């Protein structure tokens, strides 16, 4: 979105409180959903790392 369109959108939200509330809710939901997905992805990545660490500890390394 270019700067002109950003300003137009900003001005619209300033004068349309219902749309501004919908926009805030949508942004929060996107952030929550993305963070939940990232957390799941990170946990999936960590599983084999944790298994490898436990194996090294068990082997006395």
Where is pLDDT greater, at 5 or 57?
Answer: 5
C-alpha–C-alpha distance, residues 21 and 25, integer Å = 6
Contacts of 23 (CB under 8 A, 6+ apart): 13
What sign has the CA pseudo-torsion 16, 22, 23, 24? positive
Are 14 and 20 within 8 A, CB to CB?
yes
Distance between CA atoms of 49 and 36, rounded to whole angstroms? 20
pLDDT by residue (tens digit) across 12-56? 999 999 999 999 998 888 888 877 777 777 777 777 766 776 777
Higher-pLDDT residue of 19 and 57 is: 19
């Amino acid at each position: 979105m270019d700067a002109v369109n950003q300003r137009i959108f900003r001005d619209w939200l300033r004068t349309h409180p219902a749309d501004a509330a919908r926009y805030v809710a949508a942004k929060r939901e996107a952030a929550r959903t993305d963070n939940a997905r990232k957390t799941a992805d990170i946990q999936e990545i960590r599983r084999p790392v944790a298994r490898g660490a436990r194996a090294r500890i068990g082997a006395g390394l």
